[in-house]
């Protein structure tokens, strides 16, 4: 359980785990690979690598634009697996392959789980897979020896929280708001209550994403959440740097270092 162990090791070192999200193939395959390296070198603990999908229902405008840029490059699961394999030649940072159910189903659930493991991936997150219907995917992940990450939202019922707590072989991803991804100025007032509620029901690490975008957010959450997940804020730097990729990488580097420093308790 490499993802869980990474998170717990961060916590033992008195900090919350820093998990980042980027879309594979954004703005292109070559630069996308360099972005992964930049994240790893500058302190991201776990990387979520997104597979672009034509109907990203949980993604806000920023990640939707990243998806569109990636789809123009015809990026698919095979490209994502190849990127993980190349990355793994030089870096040990755990990677989660992140996507929607349809591409995984078309690829074959058992096949994709085995392929993720083979190239050095550590886990998978299927955004639109309800835990009530996840038995086949969870079995395939278990057999392949990788972790399957589940999402819980503020609207999740007690029953769903209990199902996820029972099924999960990884950390639990708490969606901080009811809505889509995207950087926000402030966190939901009920978020801390939600985190405590889930932590009472599971022994798994709890990490929080959607809307986490700055040092202030990290400072609010780091004593309560086992990890924080940042996506849109990094994708925004990619979007702003499309014309100068060297400067883009420098901005990502500075941002990641600033967030990493804030994760210490």
Which residues are known to be catalytic? Answer: 48, 59
Is-contact 237 252, C-beta < 8 A? yes
What is the distance between the alpha carbons of residues 265 and 249, in angstroms, rounded to a whole number? 27
Strands in the chain per DSSP E:
17-23, 46-50, 95-99, 123-126, 147-152, 172-175, 206-209, 227-230
Nearest CA to 48 out of 250, 260, 234, 236 is that of 234
Task: Check residue 243 and report its DSSP letter.
Answer: T
**Complete DSSP assignment for 140-160:** HHHHHT-EEEEEE-TT--HHH
Euclidean distance between CA atoms 222 and 263, whole angstroms: 6
Bridge partners (DSSP) of residue 21 are 48
- 64, 39 in Cβ contact below 8 A? no
Looking only at the bridges linking them, the beta strands covering 46-50 and 95-99 are: parallel
Given CA atoms 234, 47, 170, 108 in this order, what sign does their dihedral have? Answer: positive
């Amino acid at each position: 359980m490499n993802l869980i162990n990474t998170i717990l090791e961060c916590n033992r070192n008195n900090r919350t785990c820093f998990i980042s999200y980027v879309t594979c193939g954004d703005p292109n395959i070559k630069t996308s690979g360099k972005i992964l390296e930049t994240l790893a070198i500058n302190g991201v603990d776990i990387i979520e690598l997104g597979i672009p999908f034509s109907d990203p229902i949980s993604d806000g405008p920023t990640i939707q634009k990243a998806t569109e840029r990636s789809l123009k490059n015809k990026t698919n699961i095979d490209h994502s697996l190849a990127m993980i394999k190349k990355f793994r030649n030089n870096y040990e940072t755990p990677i989660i392959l992140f996507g929607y159910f349809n591409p995984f189903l078309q690829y074959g659930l058992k096949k994709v789980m085995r392929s993720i493991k083979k190239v050095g991936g550590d886990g998978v997150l299927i955004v639109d897979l309800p835990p009530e219907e996840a038995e086949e995917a969870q079995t395939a992940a278990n057999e392949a020896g990788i972790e399957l990450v589940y999402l819980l939202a503020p609207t999740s019922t007690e029953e769903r929280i209990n199902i996820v707590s029972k099924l999960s072989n990884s950390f639990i991803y708490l969606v901080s708001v009811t809505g889509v991804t995207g950087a926000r100025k402030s966190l939901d007032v009920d978020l801390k209550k939600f985190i405590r509620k889930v932590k009472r029901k599971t022994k798994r690490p709890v990490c929080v994403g959607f809307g986490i975008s700055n040092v202030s957010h990290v400072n609010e959450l780091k004593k309560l959440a086992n990890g924080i997940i940042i996506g849109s804020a990094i994708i925004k730097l990619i979007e702003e740097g499309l014309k100068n990729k060297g400067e883009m990488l420098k901005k990502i580097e500075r941002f990641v270092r600033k967030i990493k420093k804030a994760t210490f308790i």
